[in-house]
Amino acid sequence: MKNAISAALIGVVSLAGCAQKAEDVTATYISPMAYQSYSCKQIAQEASRVSGRVGELSGVQNKKASDDAVATGIALVVFWPAAFFIKGDKQTAAELGRLKGELEALEQASIRKKCGIVFKRAVPAEAEKEETE
């Protein structure tokens, strides 16, 4: 009984420190007013730049989440005290959230200026599987 409680407690503590998957990182609010002086061309260029960076950081964030999950599993099976040293990367997640917020603000600025720029949303992997079935 004591071992089961200890294992459950370790599991909760270690999972709390794991990095989030990129799709689970929420956008930080950025005011669209920051882009009100931009032309439609500038909005498109900035959206392209930010979108590229979101893609890069999403890959980094997902790798960290995957690595943390593997390390947690190994730590719990092989050497459980190591689970207390697994920490997610909050800095990457914060930057990713800010960039997602910038994309939303750019989209709102584009809509207000009637630029006609199409902003595509990433489709979660689960939704892609359902669509193909």
- For 105, the domain range is 17-111
Q: Which DSSP string do the residues of the chain spell out, in sequence order?
A: -HHHHHHHHHHHHHHHTSPPPGGGSPPPP--GGGGTT--HHHHHHHHHHHHHHHHHHHHHHHHHHHHHHHHHHHHHHT-GGGGGG----HHHHHHHHHHHHHHHHHHHHHHHTT--PPPPPPPPHHHHHHHH-
pTM confidence score: 0.66
Residue 41 pLDDT more than 90? yes
| Position 131 in a domain | no
Residue 116 covered by a domain: no
So what's the pLDDT on residue 57? 86
| Percent of the chain surpassing pLDDT 90 | 33
Q: Kindly state whether residue 7 falls inside one of the protein's structural domains.
A: no
pLDDT band for position 86 (50/70/90)?
low
